[in-house]
Amino acid sequence: MTESRWYSTSPPAKLNLFLELLARRDDGFHELDTVMVAIDWRDELRVRHTTVPGVQLSVDWTDGRTSVAAELQVDEDNELLLVPTDDKNLVVRALNRLTETLRLEGGWEVQLSKNIPSGAGMGGASSDAASALKLGWAAACETQSDLSATLKNETLLSLAAEIGSDVPFFLGDLEADRVVQCAHATGRGEKLKFFTLANPLHAVVIYPAASISTAQVYSRCQVPDSPQSSNDLLRALQGITAESEFSLHNALQAPARGLSSRIDPALECLSKAGLTHCHMTGSGSACFALADSSQQAAIAAETLRSTFPGGALIRAVMSYVVPSEIHIA
Ligand SMILES: C[C@](O)(CO)[C@H](O)COP(=O)(O)OP(=O)(O)OC[C@H]1O[C@@H](n2ccc(N)nc2=O)[C@H](O)[C@@H]1O
Ligand SMILES: Nc1ncnc2c1ncn2[C@@H]1O[C@H](COP(=O)(O)OP(=O)(O)OP(=O)(O)O)[C@@H](O)[C@H]1O
């Protein structure tokens, strides 16, 4: 066995434009109706298959720890900047499971450069894990010529769903083998119908220097008697109806607001910045609002950087594709 070349990609974050709770299941998970869009706030991940067993993961912050800590107004050793390098990291879990499933010899050398904050509801760890599965599969094919391509989609999808409810979204549309930006997700988030946006989405995202546990938010949520539906939004995003005819919704916003006092100021500042459709994404704490253009988003983000009280990562973003392109070096 030899070492593979380096395989790299840029795992994107996501925003939940809509999230409704339909039921609480016996296994503790919730049935969802959610609409996710990938955005161009991205990590960087490099993977190669090596002769050494296990996963050797190194993590840094692309903009430098000092710079991110300054934006967040915290010390460099603050837990907001801590990213695990052991099997708590979903990248390590993904590659270990790939090794077991494919009965591979050897292990992995991995370099992860973070941009996406954790505990933000932006799915950063899940996206890293999905990318690790894709890169790992590609690298394994280089050193193990007998891997069956027909097993690829089935294996990646089942490992992704095992690792986390958000992970399958970040694999993209495996069946149709096309790049897309959006999906309507049901089940616990793993049943996906991908679609292409009629027009790019522009937004400003504020991560208000607070990490929230997804499990804690779900433990405080309430399933409504009459759930709202994502139908109008789905039709507007696909250009079937006029784009102004939709509203966004997140059933996890109320329980998350009860866990962090940093969400309300983020929502207030976004709504005062001349943007529309202000909401929290996923289980929080990050909040976003939609802009008409990349220029409006950039100007609003710049203004918010001077007006938002306390530390925060504030970015102008736009819709992006899943999966992101793989490079080989
Ligand atoms: C909030 C979202 O990000 C929206 O896209 C996802 O629903 C969360 O997805 P995730 O972070 O991949 O979550 P998982 O790692 O699968 O689950 C973490 C915990 O969240 C709760 N959970 C998650 C997904 C779901 N549909 N119902 C739940 O109740 C469960 O308590 C679970 O133990
Ligand atoms: N690759 C990774 N990058 C960042 N954090 C990770 C990673 N793998 C595991 N973690 C851990 O996962 C936890 C949550 O991270 P994640 O970014 O998935 O949360 P989130 O923003 O709430 O996303 P989601 O929308 O999926 O709930 C953190 O405690 C973090 O330490």
| Ligand 1 binding pocket includes 188 (Cβ within 6 Å) | yes
- How much is the pLDDT for 1? 66
As a whole number of angstroms, the distance between CA 115 and CA 284 comes to 17
| Ligand 1 binding pocket includes 282 (Cβ within 6 Å) | yes
299 alpha carbon to ligand 1 midpoint, in Å?
34
Q: Label residue 185 by pLDDT band (50, 70, 90).
A: very high
- How much is the pLDDT for 283? 98
**Planar angle of CA 12, 84, 311, nearest 5 degrees:** 65
Write down all domains in the chain, each with its CATH number in brackets: 7-196 (3.30.230.10), 202-318 (3.30.70.890)
As a whole number of angstroms, the distance between CA 89 and CA 83 comes to 7
| Ligand 1 binding pocket includes 32 (Cβ within 6 Å) | yes
As a whole number of angstroms, the distance between CA 229 and CA 219 comes to 22
| Ligand 2 binding pocket includes 167 (Cβ within 6 Å) | no
118 alpha carbon to ligand 2 midpoint, in Å?
5
186 alpha carbon to ligand 2 midpoint, in Å?
21
289 alpha carbon to ligand 1 midpoint, in Å?
23
As a whole number of angstroms, the distance between CA 242 and CA 261 comes to 36
| Ligand 2 binding pocket includes 83 (Cβ within 6 Å) | yes
Residue 34: pLDDT over 70: yes
As a whole number of angstroms, the distance between CA 55 and CA 108 comes to 5
Please tell me whether the peptide bond between 261 and the residue prior to it is cis, using omega within 30 degrees of 0: no
pTM exceeding 0.80: yes
As a whole number of angstroms, the distance between CA 183 and CA 160 comes to 16
Annotated binding site for ATP: 117-127
Q: How far is CA 147 from CA 54, 138, 237, in A?
A: 20, 10, 38
The predicted-structure confidence for 196-238, as pLDDT tens digits, reads as follows 999 999 999 999 999 999 999 999 999 999 999 999 999 999 9
To the query of whether residue 114 is one of the catalytic residues in this protein, the response is no
Q: What is the mean pLDDT of residues 37-56?
A: 97
The predicted-structure confidence for 86-112, as pLDDT tens digits, reads as follows 999 999 999 999 999 999 999 999 999
The residue whose two tokens read 């690829």 is: 152
pLDDT averaged over the chain?
Answer: 96
SS3 sequence of the chain: CCCCCCEEECCEEEEEEEEEEEEECCCCCEEEEEEEEEEEEECEEEEEEECCCEEEEEEEECCCHHHHHHHHCCCCCCHHHCCCCCCCCHHHHHHHHHHHHHCCCCEEEEEEEECCCCCCCCCHHHHHHHHHHHHHHHHHHHHCCCCCHHHHHHHHHHHHHHHCCCHHHHHCECCCCECECEEEEECCCCEEEEECCCCCCEEEEEECCCCCCHHHHHHCCCCCCCCCCCHHHHHHHCCCCCCCCCCCEECCHHHHHHHCCCHHHHHHHHHHCCCEEEEECCCCCCEEEEECCHHHHHHHHHHHHHHCCCCCEEEEEEECCECCCCEEC
To the query of whether residue 33 is one of the catalytic residues in this protein, the response is no
Annotated binding site: 117-127
Q: Label residue 147 by pLDDT band (50, 70, 90).
A: confident
| Ligand 1 binding pocket includes 132 (Cβ within 6 Å) | no
Residue among 77, 166, 191, 264 flagged as catalytic: 166
Of 16, 18, 170, 218, best ligand 1 pocket probe by most atoms within 8 Å of the beta carbon: 218
- How much is the pLDDT for 326? 96
